[in-house]
Structure 1
Amino acid sequence: MKLIARTFAGLEELLEKEITQLGGEKVKTHKRAVSFLGDQRLMYKVNMFSRVALDVLTPIAKFEAKNPEHLYKEIMKIKWDKYMSADATFFISTIVYSSVFTHSQFVALKTKDAIVDQFREEFDRRPDIDKSRPDLRITIRVNETKCEVLLNSSGAPLFKRGYRTKTGKAPLNEILAAGIILKTNWDKKTPFIDPMCGSGTIPIEAGMIARNIAPCLIRKDYGFQKWKDYDRRAFEDLMKEAEDQVVENRVVIKGFDQDLYVLGLAKRNLKNVPRLAGNITLEKADFFQSDKIFDKGILVFNPPYDRRIAIYDADEYYSKIGTHLKHTFDGYHAWILSGNWMALKHVGLKPTEKITLFNGAEECKLMHYTLYQGSKKRKSNRN
């Protein structure tokens, strides 16, 4: 069957690689999505093992609708009792780019009416709408008059891993955090430090990657488990596979923050992934007063950038970050994610790489700085 996994802009190549490794066929990259062919087991596996997929959809119908009544009739042609019972709950989300269907809510309403009317006609009762935890999530995509109906096999978005019960003011999305770490090509051996860790998302995702802990070992609730054709044995087999793939790794991962409250949240979140207790330590520290703990390491962090967390002077703040990196962390690689491009220029270091990513709808830059050790400096001075 055809499957579509969605992700954030900038993470498509990572998702394509994941799906290929998991066994997807005819894998093709699109904007914020990857399409592929696979069976039911693969659909389960991408949901359970992918670190950067937002959700996994499977198309069930394609048609052209020139007006709302035409849409209603086409939706009525789908045998909805194949996918849910009259006692089930459902929810409809829409993606509409059309001069014919100008209101996405109206598309959802006409779709809902068709589904409900079909059940009333055939069973004399109807499924109800549930926005929070429906049995079936339906997505309608409309591009002018071309329509596609898809089922969302994930349920809640896959960034809801299950470990993050509370967050600070501007939490980093778990999928983006995992994507950033994968973009760094971290070797999973070098000490890993987040000097502004907030509620701990980056260190926890780093730990899961280092130990090869699949997201499904924390989150165990997926939309496909409520489908009529749910295969419990296949799910349990994949859970065992995920358990068997966890590896021993004594790599050191450290998270620091000067805010005791958010650090407390981070420690609470870390407790929800007990396997990482031996890898991750979370401590109170001010980045600008910090010293180098290891000769070499990787720093990955998402400093405040004024729009998400207010800081007095963003340019000066980022200038201080650059100065401290330069004078303290020689021999390290530093990766900084920020949505304040102008402030990033004040870091004052030449980036080795610049990667465009999105934190929700907000465009950000992931900057890589190679902080050379003394031998490099001496060589530069001789030249």
Structure 2
Amino acid sequence: MAQNFKMLAKTLYGLEDVLATELRNLGAMKVETGVRGVFFEGDKGFMYKANLSLRTALKILKPIETFSVRDENDLYDKVFAMHWDKLMNVNTTFAIHATLSDAIFNHSQFVALKTKDAIVDKFRNTEGKRPNVDVKHPDISINIHIHKNRVTISLDSSGSSLHHRGYRTATNIAPINEVLAAGMLLLSGWDGQCDFMDPMCGSGTIPVEAAMIACNIPANINRKEFAFEKWADYDADLFEKIVESSLNKTREFYYKIYGYDKAPSAVMKANDNVKNANLSEYITIKQYNFFETYKPVDGKLHMVFNPPYGERLQIDIEAFYKAIGNTLKQQYADTNAWLITSNLESLKHVGLRPSRKIALFNGKLESRFVKYEMYAGSKKAKYQNN
């Protein structure tokens, strides 16, 4: 029977519970949330499946050693003492990424350098040769995390961040991270049971992620590679079976997904990305100005969008957000509308009371993800009819 081991899925602040739910639904054992990460247990096949399928994970790390350190020499000695020959050889290229949290060391680059020195010195001592560092495309990516004086050394099974899905070749100004887009959709309760709209879709990330959720398509099916494919114990047949099994669980989607943007360049890029993701039959991208168009369907509509914040795209915040509120009120009855903004003042100008507010980060910008429930008829009438 395959051996279970502990892993850590890293994510964005505010998405920890969403990721924990994803992991449980996928079959993970001993799921435990932390800050910007979720611990869980599974076997090698589950590690492959987690990389392929999780929508809100940035990395899947496999811890291989934990220990306490007193100072830099102690760190060097303990890294040197590890059995690196079981993981790599002198021809293996490697990279080290260090993160510190309230640690006894001040600089992550210093920690990475000390760790690198210990590894190459170990091989020099035993083999007379040293492996090379390759920061761009290493055979093995090593993650070292230090909290206070506690060191955890992990292998990064993902490689480049899992938000690099593989379908987005063209981006606009201020594109939204795919993991954040998927997290917002899952937080909003999007389940593919009605029509969907992103009225300011930019390069199409939110509509693509919405379609993948609706059809239960694995998040990273379009990715070119994962780091674990270069590991000595990589099982290509097992990974192929997991891909096949995941694709067998996709489902049909009977509604429509709309993406609008007023910029022709954005529409062109969005259409390219939708095509790259093989989702053209589900997603319609059009050049429309949200403030001049109307609801594309009768009945229920689920809306999620990322309007400009005035950070990288210059707009008149007050007039713009007031227009969002007016358009929702006048044109979008029977719609659950969610938007994210880092301009917290802007929400005062929408003129609608949000029914939910969730704290998230868009990059380094503290943001709010808010829900506006637009009713057909008055709110009072809605509750009288129930």
- Give 2:349's aligned residue: 346
- Residues in 1 aligned to 2:188 and 2:238: alpha-carbon distance in whole angstroms: 34
Does 151-160 or 215-224 show the bigger shift?
A: 215-224
Q: Which residue, 276, 283, 287 being the options, matches 1:284?
A: 287
- Residues in 2 aligned to 1:63 and 1:379: alpha-carbon distance in whole angstroms: 59
Q: Describe the SS at the equivalent of 1:52.
A: coil
Does 134-143 or 277-286 show the bigger shift?
A: 134-143
- Residues in 2 aligned to 1:7 and 1:302: alpha-carbon distance in whole angstroms: 19
Q: Which amino acid aligns with 2:286?
A: E
Distance 1:379 1:7, change over 3 A: closer
Instruction: Please say if residues 98 and 144 of structure 1, whose CA atoms lie closer than 8 Å, have aligned partners that are also in contact.
Output: yes
Distance 1:51 1:98, change over 3 A: closer
Q: Which residue, 37, 54, 59 being the options, matches 1:55?
A: 59
Instruction: Please say if residues 144 and 152 of structure 2, whose CA atoms lie closer than 8 Å, have aligned partners that are also in contact.
Output: yes
* Cα displacement (A) at 1:15: 0.7
- Residues in 2 aligned to 1:245 and 1:368: alpha-carbon distance in whole angstroms: 30
Q: Describe the SS at the equivalent of 1:283.
A: strand
Consecutive unaligned residues of structure 2, counting only runs of 5 or more, are none
* Cα displacement (A) at 1:216: 3.2
- Residues in 2 aligned to 1:25 and 1:378: alpha-carbon distance in whole angstroms: 46
- Give 2:108's aligned residue: 104
* 1:213 maps onto 2:195 in alignment: no
- Give 1:28's aligned residue: 32
Instruction: Please say if residues 92 and 132 of structure 2, whose CA atoms lie closer than 8 Å, have aligned partners that are also in contact.
Output: yes
Percent identical residues? 44
- Give 1:148's aligned residue: 152
- Give 1:179's aligned residue: 183
* Cα displacement (A) at 1:99: 6.2
- Residues in 1 aligned to 2:152 and 2:355: alpha-carbon distance in whole angstroms: 42
Q: Which amino acid aligns with 2:171?
A: T
Distance 1:27 1:299, change over 3 A: same
Count the aligned residue pairs.
379
- Give 1:160's aligned residue: 164
Aligned pairs for 1:1-383 within 5 A: 1-97=5-101, 100-274=104-278, 276-295=279-298, 296-311=300-315, 313-376=316-379
Distance 1:326 1:134, change over 3 A: same
Q: Which amino acid aligns with 1:118?
A: K
RMSD, aligned CA = 1.6
- Residues in 2 aligned to 1:152 and 1:352: alpha-carbon distance in whole angstroms: 39
Instruction: Please say if residues 250 and 278 of structure 1, whose CA atoms lie closer than 8 Å, have aligned partners that are also in contact.
Output: no
- Residues in 1 aligned to 2:382 and 2:259: alpha-carbon distance in whole angstroms: 33
- Residues in 2 aligned to 1:41 and 1:343: alpha-carbon distance in whole angstroms: 46
* Runs of 4+ residues over 2 Å off in structure 1: 97-100, 375-380
Deviations 1:81-119 (A, max 9, x none): 211221111111111245642222111111001101111
* Cα displacement (A) at 1:236: 0.6
Q: Which amino acid aligns with 1:293?
A: P
* Cα displacement (A) at 1:265: 0.9
- Residues in 1 aligned to 2:103 and 2:53: alpha-carbon distance in whole angstroms: 39
Q: Which amino acid aligns with 1:90?
A: F
- Residues in 2 aligned to 1:289 and 1:59: alpha-carbon distance in whole angstroms: 53
Instruction: Please say if residues 255 and 281 of structure 1, whose CA atoms lie closer than 8 Å, have aligned partners that are also in contact.
Output: yes
Instruction: Please say if residues 257 and 282 of structure 2, whose CA atoms lie closer than 8 Å, have aligned partners that are also in contact.
Output: yes
* Cα displacement (A) at 1:220: 4.0
- Residues in 2 aligned to 1:298 and 1:152: alpha-carbon distance in whole angstroms: 36
Consecutive unaligned residues of structure 1, counting only runs of 5 or more, are none
Q: Describe the SS at the equivalent of 2:124.
A: helix
